[in-house]
Amino acid sequence: MVLKVEKLTKAFGGLTAVNNVNLQVEEGSIQAIIGPNGAGKSTFFNLISGFHLPSSGKIIFKGKDITKLPPNKIAKLRIARTFQTTNLFENATVLDNVVIGNRLRTKSGVFDAIFRTKREIREEKESMEKAFEALRFVELTHLADQSIGSITQEQKKRVAIALALATDPELVLLDEPAAGINPDETDGLAALIKKMAKSGLTVCLIEHKMSMIMSLADRIMVLNQGERIAEGTPEEIRNNPVVIEAYLGSEEDESSKTTSV
């Protein structure tokens, strides 16, 4: 197991956003996390990536206890997460966005930047190479010199994924990778996510688009009011009465609809 989450709990004051959640994620698999609005999905990601400190429980990544590590230390252990496309720099080029994302995570400090030390120059070259490699993976090299403001929402989603890939991760956390794009484009993104897992990456994703999740995920965890109410294969989840009751309901067939129960 690449990721083991044990009895993870996060309380915000009187509200328990994540409550005693267990999860094991196998290397190279696609693990989806679904649940109604406010179920605790984003909080769960924020705990794994170190943006929130758990109230209790444990997070083990490749045998190492990362429960109390800050985000930068977790990123160095090769866990990457994507952010909303609104975090991209609209006026900068696609390539620069990916390079900047990578540079923010590499070591050189202000001193290096001002005096352009050898390390700075080396890191800059490495960042550029990594950025290109990531753009190649997400199939956007032809747009490298375009500004973010001039590309489509689906292409921005790919840039957000490229940003994560440029940090050379082993585990990638994707927060709603297909939100706000049309069904055709959703298929393209699903293919990209499959390709990531095929290349050996482990992928955890939060997504509301049920048809995408059902065909993409190896396993699905369902959260409801902070609690894990089910975990299993798409088939098991689809037929689970507790899940149907709490979440899927009659919207099961409305494949491309963004569920907001």
Ligand X SMILES: Nc1ncnc2c1ncn2[C@@H]1O[C@H](COP(=O)(O)OP(=O)(O)OP(=O)(O)O)[C@@H](O)[C@H]1O
Nearest approach, Cβ of residue 41 and ligand X (Å): 3
The Cα–Cα gap between 248 and 230 comes to: 12
Q: Which conformational region is residue 226 in: left (phi greater than 0), alpha (psi within -120 to 50 degrees), or beta?
A: left
From 7, 15, 180, 256, residue interacting with ligand X (rule: CB under 6 A): 15
Structure tokens at 230: 């089910």
Nearer to ligand X, 16 or 29 (CB): 16
State how far the alpha carbon of 43 is from the alpha carbons of 20, 54, 223, in Å. Answer: 13, 10, 11
Q: Which residues contact 175 (CB under 8 A, 6 or more apart)?
A: 42, 45, 81, 82, 83, 84, 205, 206
Taking the complex as a whole, the smallest distance from the CB of residue 127 to ligand X amounts, in Å, to 31
Binding string, 35-54, against ligand X, x = CB under 6 A? x-xxxxxxx-----------
For residues 67 and 224, which CB has a smaller minimum distance to ligand X in the complex? 224
The distance of closest approach from Cβ of residue 179 to ligand X in the complex, given in angstroms and rounded to an integer, is 10
Query: By rule CB under 6 A, what count of residues binds ligand X?
Result: 11
Q: Is 12 in the site for ligand X (CB under 6 A)?
A: yes
Contact range with ligand X by CB under 6 A, out of 21-29, 34-42, 97-105, 122-130: 34-42
Rounded CA gap, 231 and 226, in Å?
14
Distances (CA, A) of 250 to 51, 75, 207, 236, 259: 35, 40, 18, 17, 11
Find the shortest distance in angstroms from Cβ 220 to ligand X: 14
Nearest by Cα to 217 from 199, 188, 237:
237
Q: Greatest CA span in the chain, whole angstroms?
A: 63
Identify which of 33, 6, 7 has the alpha carbon closest to the alpha carbon of residue 20. 7
Binding-site member from 2, 3, 8, 17 for ligand X (CB under 6 A): 17
Q: How far is the CB of 246 from ligand X (least distance, A)?
A: 13
* Range in contact with ligand X (rule: CB under 6 A) among 30-38, 64-72, 108-116, 136-144: 30-38
CB of 217 to ligand X, least distance (A): 16
Which of 43/155 has CB closer to ligand X?
43
Shortest Cβ 195–ligand X spacing (Å): 26
Q: Which residues pair with 88 in a beta bridge?
A: none
Binding mask 140-179 for ligand X (x = CB under 6 A): ----------------------------------------
Residues that bind ligand X (CB under 6 A): 12, 15, 17, 35, 37-43
